[in-house]
Amino acid sequence: MRTEIVWLTAIVIVFTGFGLTHGQQAENLLTNPGMEDGTTTGWGGYGDNTREVVQELVGAAVPEGPIEGDYSLHVTVGENYENFWNAGLTPWSGGVFESGKQYTFSFWAKSKEGEREINLKPEQTDTWIQYGEKRITITEEWAEYYTTSPVMTEDVPNMQISVHVGFGPGEFWLDAGRLYAGEYEETVFGPRVKATAPNPADGSDNVPQDVILSWQGGPFAAVHDVYFGESFDDVNTAPTTDTMDVLKSNDQPGTTYDPDGLLDFGKTYYWRIDEVNAPPDSTTFKGSVWSFTVEPLAYPITSVSATAPGSACTHRIFLLTVNAPNTPATMTQPRKNSLTLNPGGPSTRPQSKPAARNPL
């Protein structure tokens, strides 16, 4: 009996320790820390830099996707500043660092090419006094960086997290930002369970009518459910009794989907991939809704101009109509017409040349 009691106690201790270590990270004070709403909300900035939320890290020397979720923040820094602090990001501003607490700001970052310096500065905007300023050097691979303030001896209002980036022109990416009370804690990510890397990319234009959709499946997915349709709401809320028609493929093992027939010119389509784990649990993880717009039937020509020799009496313009991609020849036939322009006079169609007369 004594052995059984000791064994049960050991089990309780093991499971309790596991929960404290992995399941209770401090509250994140940042708004939209991972850009997972697809916008830059919460990530303000100033000076010569631009910020955009992206799903692909185009041009990265070390190809990688976002470190967490579907999105990361792409920052492009220019060169119009005198000091490194004249260009920066402000992911948090206007809050209070409370007495008796210390605060940690952390994020993941990677440079597009080579190394790059960034200066982290928790500061008070009334006095610009710093509370834990730290300069870091990011590399071409994702890594987590942080700075921690000292323990505050009094409440300090109007605090701001400044990320100074004015160290020369270049590009880099940020993801998974955190601001919390306490000493630094390594960020623990949950398993990547959702489908990623949609092709065509989310929001793409001019997509061919005969596109075949593809994606990168989650590491634990056994099969995939494909939702595809013309309504964002239907694709987002499916499956319900009113939206079953957008479930186009159920429990398919592959990571491609070929929509039936040719898609309509100029129309926007929405799609979603749900990942389904293998039995016995067969848990389904709902995916993000992606969209793309099919190429138009025709591309408008806004203006045409030409320069002709000053001695020309007439100018002839040739108009050529070409089949749109994937359009049957019976629908739009190539056609060529000409139009003669008389400088200073009316435009006329070219006349047939009269037949030559035989000499008498």
Residue with more model confidence, 32 or 348: 32
Question: 134, 147 in Cβ contact below 8 A?
Answer: yes
265 and 340 housed in the same domain: no
Residue 206: closest CA among 300, 294, 298:
294
6 within a domain of the structure (yes/no): no
Q: What is the pLDDT of residues 203-259, one digit of tens each?
A: 999 999 999 999 988 877 899 999 999 999 999 989 877 788 999 999 999 999 999
Does 358 have pLDDT greater than 60? no
276 within a domain of the structure (yes/no): yes
Across the range 187-194, mean pLDDT stands at: 76
| CA dihedral for 293, 294, 300, 301, sign (positive or negative) | positive
143 and 205 housed in the same domain: no
What band does 74 get if pLDDT is binned at 50, 70 and 90? very high
- Round the average pLDDT of the chain to a whole number and report it: 82
191 within a domain of the structure (yes/no): no
Residue with tokens 């100029």: 266
333 and 216 housed in the same domain: no
Cis peptide leading into 279, omega within 30 of 0?
Answer: no
Q: What is the pLDDT of residue 311?
A: 61
189 within a domain of the structure (yes/no): no
Across the range 306-322, mean pLDDT stands at: 59
Task: Tell the burial category of 262 from Cβ atoms under 10 Å away from its Cβ (0-12, 13-18, 19+).
Answer: middle
Does 353 have pLDDT greater than 50? no
Residue with more model confidence, 171 or 192: 171
258 within a domain of the structure (yes/no): yes
Structure tokens of 344? 């200073």
Residue with tokens 């009496």: 313
Q: What residues does 268 pair with on adjacent strands?
A: 293
What band does 330 get if pLDDT is binned at 50, 70 and 90? very low
44 and 150 housed in the same domain: yes
Q: For the whole model, what pTM was predicted?
A: 0.55
Does 28 have pLDDT greater than 50? yes
Residue span of the structural domain in which 214 resides: 196-294
135 and 49 housed in the same domain: yes
Instruction: Please give the Cα distance from 236 to 243 (Å, whole number).
Output: 10
What band does 46 get if pLDDT is binned at 50, 70 and 90? very high
72 and 40 housed in the same domain: yes
Tally of structural domains, the chain: 3
- Among the three residues 265, 294, 323, which one is the final residue of a domain in this structure? 294
Q: What is the pLDDT of residues 153-169, one digit of tens each?
A: 999 999 999 999 999 99
Q: What is the CATH number of the domain that holds 103?
A: 2.60.120.260
173 and 312 housed in the same domain: no
What band does 348 get if pLDDT is binned at 50, 70 and 90? very low
Chain-centre distance for alpha carbon 271:
16
Whole-number CA gyration radius for the chain? 31
Instruction: Please give the Cα distance from 274 to 224 (Å, whole number).
Output: 6
- Among the three residues 253, 273, 294, which one is the final residue of a domain in this structure? 294
| CA dihedral for 170, 176, 180, 183, sign (positive or negative) | negative
Chain-centre distance for alpha carbon 29:
23
Structure tokens of 317? 């313009």
Instruction: Please give the Cα distance from 61 to 54 (Å, whole number).
Output: 17
State how beta strands 170-181 and 72-77 pair.
antiparallel
- Among the three residues 142, 157, 181, which one is the final residue of a domain in this structure? 181
Across the range 172-194, mean pLDDT stands at: 89
82 and 230 housed in the same domain: no
